[in-house]
Amino acid sequence: MSEKVNFKQLSELNRKTDVILNSTHDGLISIGKDYKVELFNRAAEKILGIKKDRVLGKDVREVIPNTRLHIVLNKGEAELNKIQHAGDITIITNRVPVYDEQGNIIGAVAVFRDITEVKKLAEEITNLKEMRTLLEAIINATQDAISVVDEKGIGILINPAYTRLTGLTEEDVIGKPATVDIAEGESMHYRVLKTKKPVKGVKMKVGPSKKEVIVDVAPIIVDGKLKGSVGVIHDVSKIKRLTEELDHVRRIIRHLNAKYTFEDIIGESETMKAAKNQARKASKTPVTVLLRGESGTGKELFAHAIHNASPRQNNKFIRVNCSAIADNILESELFGYEEGAFTGARKGGKKGYFEEADGGTVFLDEIGKISLDLQAKLLRVLQEREIVRVGGTRPRNVDVRVIVATNTNLERAIQEGNFREDLYYRLNVFPLHIPPLRERKEDIPLLVHHMIRKFNQEYGRSVKGCSEDALQKLREYHWPGNVRELENLIGRAMINMGIEEEVIRLKHLPFFDGPGNKKTRENKDELNVEDRSLKEIVESTEKKAIIEALNKTDGNRTEAAKLLGIAIRSLYYKLDKYGID
């Protein structure tokens, strides 16, 4: 009875073994010492295409093509991870000898699997990678700006042409909603994702500079499923150049709408946030604001922003540079004149800027430079809200908000008799100090990022950022020219870069030869101060710098002004001052 039970258990064990061997994905072949096949599972049948009954009990050398089991059996050495061709397929196999308890070889076994499909898949993956690389090269080479989003409207791809057009980098767009680049208009990506239909020829404005473009957007559909959308952006804006030069006054006094807001003032330092908060408070009232700060700190931006945040934002904003024009001309421009007031006066007279800005804002830059006579007339505007035209006697009421700016020490000017004390107190109702860049160096990375986006668009580049060592160099500099000097330097650095370079590095930064560089000042020993006044030295140096800038830009005054880091109106004034053609 006991033998019967053991036999049944053995039979059950063999059955389970067969089930396991036939369930495995790997093919199994085993042979005995006589080379005859003792095991041939179902996977082996499928892989080799040979039926089990044609193999079992047969000499392996006669029934299995290219077998090496007999060699493993004879040598007693295993063969691991071997590639073998079996007809139209390729297998990877492990062949090992089988030993009994005494260490004698009694057979050999092979375990193998078909890798033909794996090889094909690997080849397809390689082909896909090559195709993707090719497609990316094509997309990056095209001159049209391309933007791709996924099915949720999240940016997944842009090309360099897109960066050049919009001023936005991958950091600004990838992983962000499709609306991130739109300045004016509706997102066509979202419309296409919603309707699954393409759109063509839609006008809109994109990027921080509100570039005018026309876009074509189409859905990306794979196997009937929406996977995203692709947009092609065409630049239709043209660079507008002046066809004629205004006279000296028109080049200096600009009549315009305020175009900057508080969002355009870059800075998260405590001093800059405090200045912006104070300016926001002032904007809600008609109070006169006195903007104080060094040249290049951004006083004009604050004036624009205050006007745009005020109840007067829909009325005129007129900006006047008081330091760059003779007092007699400035007086007639500010207050207007009556017919016959002077030789060449327009028939019927002319409104001044205070009258033209009625209901709006007049921004007087460099207020500390005007004469005492003009100071008296400005005081009347602030006190009485009225003006008298040149050559006239009748007062005219005006409703004008006045913002003034200066880098002059007004308190010292009062002591020296160059500025009226009563006007000072009228202007100093709401003083606002704009901090110099050296006092908010933590804002430099933000400013650099903003300037790179701006110059990408202006220069048609695709610069992505600034290296840490270059940023550190910028932090170490004194910045006597403030943000204007930083903008000038970043612009020059991008000009120094190769067209294929994407990161501003230390080597691209122009040599710091400004007055903020102590080492440079110590090494500049060619100035002879014994026979020239400081004013003469400054004027001589300034004239040389202007001539050099014009030579480098082939006489292009707009580019020369950018190179020098000054406004075009200031350049025209200096050209006249020094008699440079």
Contact criterion met (CB below 8 Å) for 414 and 424 = yes
Residue 559 confidence (pLDDT): 82
User: What CATH number has the domain spanning 249-435?
Assistant: 3.40.50.300
Q: Do the strands 89-99 and 199-206 form a parallel or antiparallel pair, or are they unpaired?
A: unpaired
List per-residue pLDDT tens for the chain, 581 residues long: 444 445 556 566 667 777 778 888 889 999 999 999 999 999 888 888 889 889 899 999 998 888 889 999 999 999 998 888 777 778 889 999 999 888 899 999 999 988 776 677 666 666 667 776 777 777 777 778 889 999 999 998 888 888 988 889 988 999 999 888 888 888 899 999 999 999 988 888 888 888 888 889 999 988 888 999 999 988 875 433 333 444 444 444 444 567 889 999 999 999 999 999 999 999 999 999 999 988 889 999 999 999 999 999 888 899 888 877 777 788 888 888 887 766 556 777 888 889 888 889 999 988 988 889 889 989 988 988 898 888 888 888 999 999 999 988 899 889 989 999 999 999 999 999 999 999 999 999 999 999 999 999 888 888 999 999 999 999 988 888 899 889 989 998 998 888 888 999 998 987 654 444 444 444 443 445 445 566 667 777 888 888 888 878 777 888 888 888 787 777 877 887 777 76
Spatial separation of the C-alpha atoms in residues 403 and 378, rounded to whole Å: 12
Asked if 180 contacts 155 with a C-beta cutoff of 8 angstroms, the reply is: yes
CB 465 within 8 A of CB 171: yes
Per-residue confidence (pLDDT) for residue 427, from 0 to 100? 92
pLDDT of residue 245: 43
Query: Could you tell me which residues are beta bridge partners of residue 433?
Result: 292
Q: What residues are paired with 466 via a beta bridge?
A: 504
At the top level of CATH, which class does the domain 441-578 belong to? mainly alpha
Predicted TM-score (pTM) of this structure: 0.53
- The Cβ-side half-sphere exposure at 329, using a 13 Å CA radius, reads 14
pLDDT of residue 302: 95
Domain spans of the chain, in order of start: 20-116, 142-235, 249-435, 441-578
Residue 481: the pLDDT is: 86
Residue 54 in tokens: 């044609």
Residues 100 and 269: their CA atoms lie apart, in Å, by 81
Burial class (CB in 10 A: 0-12, 13-18, 19+), 55: buried
Kindly list the distances between the CA atom of residue 506 and the CA atoms of 112, 451, 464, 510, in Å, as whole numbers in the listed order: 59, 17, 15, 9
Closest CA to 153 of 171, 136, 176: 176
CB atoms near residue 415 (< 10 Å): 11
Give the CATH number of domain 142-235.
3.30.450.20
Q: Does this chain's domain 142-235 share its CATH topology with 441-578?
A: no
Cα–Cα distance, 139 to 462 (Å, whole number): 14
| pLDDT the model gives residue 5 | 46
Coil, strand or helix at 217: strand
Residue in the block written with tokens 């160059």: 418
Fill in the DSSP letter of residue 44. H
What token pair was written down for 560? 């020369």
Looking from the CA of 439 toward its CB, the CA atoms found within 13 Å total 12
- The two three-digit tokens of residue 78, written as one number: 């295993």
**How far is it, in rounded angstroms, from Cα 13 to Cα 195?**
64
CA 581 – CA 566 distance, rounded (Å): 18
Homologous superfamily assigned to 20-116: PAS domain (3.30.450.20)
Q: What angle do CA 95, 97, 100 make, to 5 degrees?
A: 150
